[in-house]
Amino acid sequence: MADRADVLAGGADGAPALGAWIKLATTESVEIMAAIGMDFVVVDLEHAPLDLETAARMIVLARACGMTPLVRVPGHEAATIGRVLDSGAGGILVPHVEDADQARAVVSAVRFPPHGARGAGGTSRAGRWGLLPRAEYTRFGNEQVLCIPQLESAGAIGSAPEILAVDGVDAVFLGAGDLALSLGLGAGDPEVRELLGTGRAAAAAAGKPCGAASAGVEGALGAAGLGHRFVVIGNDVTLLARAADSLVAGVRNGLRGAR
C-alpha cells in the first residue's frame, strides 16, 4: 500500500495526480480508469446509489490495478467511515466540513487511539483478515490512510486555516459546485473564484495539498496551473453519457445530410 504522502505528491514532473469519480455500480468502471492511466479513483457514496459491498469490490480492484482507492463518504458518521476504511480504502473525502470542530470529529473517526476513536477491526480486509499484526494495522490507519475534508461553503473557506491545522487532516478538496450553489452564483463568478483562491492559499500556507474537480481538458489544465496536487477530471457516468450523446448526434446529423 502506498504511503499517503506519495499519493498526493503528484508525478515526478510536477503534474498533479489525476483521478475520476466512480458512480456506476459496476467494477468495469474501475478497470477502465486504470486502463486509461488514472492515478486514483474516488468511489462516490455521496452522490451515487452505490452500497458498501459494491464499494469494497471496487477498492480491491483499484488496488490490484495499481490505483489508489479513495471513497467519498455520504456524511460524517463514524460508523460509515470505519466500515469504508476497514474495506481497504486508501482514504476518504468527507463532504461539507465547515469548521475545525467538525474536522477533528472526522479525524477521530479515521484514526485509532491515541490519535482518534476509530474502533479496531483487524479481521477485516484492512487487517488482512486478521493476519496483519494489530500494530501494523493501526499504524497504517494512523499514518497512511488519507483524511480529506471537502470545503464547500464560504464559511468552510473562511475556516480553512483552522481546518488545515487539525492534526490528522492530510489535504483539503475544494467543492466549487456546492460553493457556487450555496452562494446562488455561477461556478465562474468572480466571488466564487476568489473564495477558491483563498482556499488554495490556506492549503499552501499550511503546506498541505489541495484538490479539485474539473471538467474537460482545459478545466484540468487550469486546475493544474493553479497548483492543485490532485484533480478529479471526470466521472464514469458523464463520460459515457457525453460520448454516447456525441455519437448519436453525429450519426443523426450525418444521416440528415445524406438525404
Instruction: Give the predicted TM-score (pTM) of the model.
Output: 0.93
Length of the chain: 259
Structural domains in the chain, sorted by start: 4-258 (3.20.20.60)
* Omega prior to 114 cis, within 30 of 0: yes
User: 47 an active-site residue?
Assistant: yes
User: Average pLDDT of the chain?
Assistant: 94
Task: Tell me the C-alpha distance between 246 and 62, whole Å.
Answer: 29
All cell numbers assigned to 240: 459515457
Sign of CA dihedral 71, 77, 82, 83: negative
Q: Indicate if the pLDDT at residue 42 is higher than 70.
A: yes
Q: What is the pLDDT of residue 10?
A: 67
Residue type, 147: C
Q: Tell the burial category of 12 from Cβ atoms under 10 Å away from its Cβ (0-12, 13-18, 19+).
A: exposed
How much is the pLDDT for 3? 47
Per-residue pLDDT of 120-129, as tens digits, reads: 999 999 999 9
Backbone phi, then psi, for 212, in 5-degree steps? -160, 165
Quickly state the pLDDT bin for 259 (edges 50, 70, 90). Answer: confident
* Catalytic, out of 47, 76, 96, 228: 47
Average pLDDT estimate for 70-93: 97
Segment 179-187 mean pLDDT: 93
